[in-house]
Amino acid sequence: MNSKIVVATGNRGKLAEFSQLLGERFELLSQKDLKVDEAEETGLSFVENALLKARNAAAQTGLPALADDSGLCVNALNGAPGIYSARYAGNGASDTDNNAKLVEKLAGENNRRAHFHCALVFVRHATDPAPIICEGRWPGEIIDTARGGNGFGYDPHFYVAALDKTAAELSPEEKNRLSHRGQAVAAFVERFKEEMR
């Protein structure tokens, strides 16, 4: 198995997290650096979109590919922003824009429960009939006032009561151990080790 894996993301925050979690085992290359045209995310679930992205990156590079689709699901908003988390406030929206829309949508709402969800898909090649699919789920709640300077996306508004901290108040090491992406990557590493025996 090629130790080079293309990561199907242009998000530097995600790439940094993957590198911290998998960097010792694999050489991770960004699809952006390899000039991969992004896949159109036409799926209706995190798994569908991750699979589209992984197959697209593998097809364009000839390398094994790892993709995740992840986002924030808020109970009171019927799971929104969900698969639209990165563009909740519109295409090209910044983290600040997305967070502002989220807080506005939850104005007056008492049920603040939410979870981050990650679907991680690995394909050995573009037509891999048996991709490795792992998922992770990180429960918390949404707070109106941003706290913390770490992380990205909705992290400053995602409060974990057991820690009395937002995701943005955790160190990268703590977040990687607890987060939806950390859980999915840990499951992937175990699965990968089994298959490579």
Distances (CA, A) of 46 to 11, 23, 90, 125: 16, 24, 18, 20
* pLDDT averages per 10-residue partition of the chain, 197 residues: 81 78 80 93 96 98 95 98 96 95 97 97 96 97 96 95 97 91 90 75
Residue in 37, 68, 69, 164 annotated catalytic? 69
Q: What is the pLDDT of residue 196?
A: 66
* DSSP helix/strand/coil, 54: helix
Joined together, the tokens standing for residue 111 give 């049920």
Contacts of 92 (CB under 8 A, 6+ apart): none
Q: What is the pLDDT of residue 3?
A: 80
Query: Helix 180-195 vs helix 12-22: angle between axes, to the nearest 10 degrees?
Result: 50
CATH architecture of 4-195: Alpha-Beta Complex (3.90)
In the sheet where 65-74 sits, what is the strand order? 27-30, 4-7, 65-74, 113-123, 132-142, 158-160, 165-166
pLDDT (tens digit per residue) in 76-134: 999 999 999 999 999 999 999 999 999 999 999 999 999 999 999 999 999 999 999 99
69 is annotated as an active-site residue: yes
